[in-house]
Structure 1
């Protein structure tokens, strides 16, 4: 694991908070009363501003955001199950429109829950950057996952959206930190995302 200076860690935390904040509305649209991801981002920025590190506070903020992510994921799973059940019932009963609407509503709930889960994960990783600098790259990754999950139009649209977000993240990350990000991506990204990352890097050259 690369060693970062305190100033580099601070820059990573600012970037991570910015990445998470860009997708925070996706979480709050589904769960407007749950402020844990927002509070995690605030805790990250507070650490950057004051330099005061209290492990208990950082841990509480990070775990709170990740708990919010798990709750959103459970809702997504429940929505997916309900969607499949409603569609099956529609086929068997030939009930038509009512069951079809129920299936669509459950499907939307499943999709929104997945989006909210990823957005909350981005917030949780942002504040954890105060403890381990490379958590910043987790914030970047989950922000992209949230945007990818939010776009249900077409594969081409999702790829374009991811490319735009990667470009934004690249431009806003200080040059001195980009090599560390590239190394993290090479180690940590799932296979499908690594392919898109390589495509993105080729266009940067």
Structure 2
């Protein structure tokens, strides 16, 4: 299934990791929210695999200074491994959303992957990508609206 690319960094953004720390953290929290919104798709099929959930929790921990970038990279790799091991497309896409959310600690642009893979998970489950996109837009903090473009 092709990735639904609805979000990208734009506006005042000048390139990967060019955001200030506050914006970088806000992007990570938003991406974690997007990934968590579809996490049940993965957990329903793989209830004993907590890698995506740990990645989402660690994303928020990173924004509080509780997780290092190195730890975030390792969690991202583990979560993407969970995606590759997933039995269905919907579970795979949901895990990828979590993997990109935590990877935002390393590169701010990965936040878009968290959001875009969440939309792709919804579509893979037969849901409305447009409805998920609108939910994500509603979650987008006001300060990020000059950094993130969506269509």
The aligned counterpart of 1:6 is 21
5+ unaligned residues in a row in structure 2: which ranges?
A: 1-14
The aligned counterpart of 2:81 is 67
The aligned counterpart of 1:149 is 124
Pick aligned residue for 1:120 from 95, 106, 109: 95
* Residue 119 (structure 2) pairs with residue 163 (structure 1): no
Q: Supply the distance in 1 between the matched residues of 2:69 and 2:111 (Cα, whole angstroms).
A: 17
The aligned counterpart of 1:16 is 31
Q: Supply the distance in 1 between the matched residues of 2:139 and 2:31 (Cα, whole angstroms).
A: 10
* Residue 143 (structure 2) pairs with residue 176 (structure 1): yes
* Residue 147 (structure 2) pairs with residue 132 (structure 1): no
**What is the TM-score normalised by the length of structure 1?**
0.63
| Larger RCO (alpha carbons 8 Å, 6+ apart) | 2
- The question of whether the paired residues in 2 share the 8 Å contact of 1:66 and 1:124 is answered with yes
The aligned counterpart of 1:55 is 69
The aligned counterpart of 2:11 is none
- Root-mean-square deviation (CA, aligned residues, Å) is 1.5
- The question of whether the paired residues in 2 share the 8 Å contact of 1:170 and 1:178 is answered with no
**What is the TM-score normalised by the length of structure 2?**
0.84
5+ unaligned residues in a row in structure 1: which ranges?
A: 76-112, 152-157, 186-196, 198-205
Structure number having the greater helix percentage: 1
Q: What's the CA shift for 1:179? A: 4.0
The runs of 4+ residues in structure 1 deviating greater than 4 Å are: none
Q: Give per-residue Cα distances to partners, 1:30-69, cap 9 Å, x unaligned.
A: 11111100111111011112x2452331111101110000
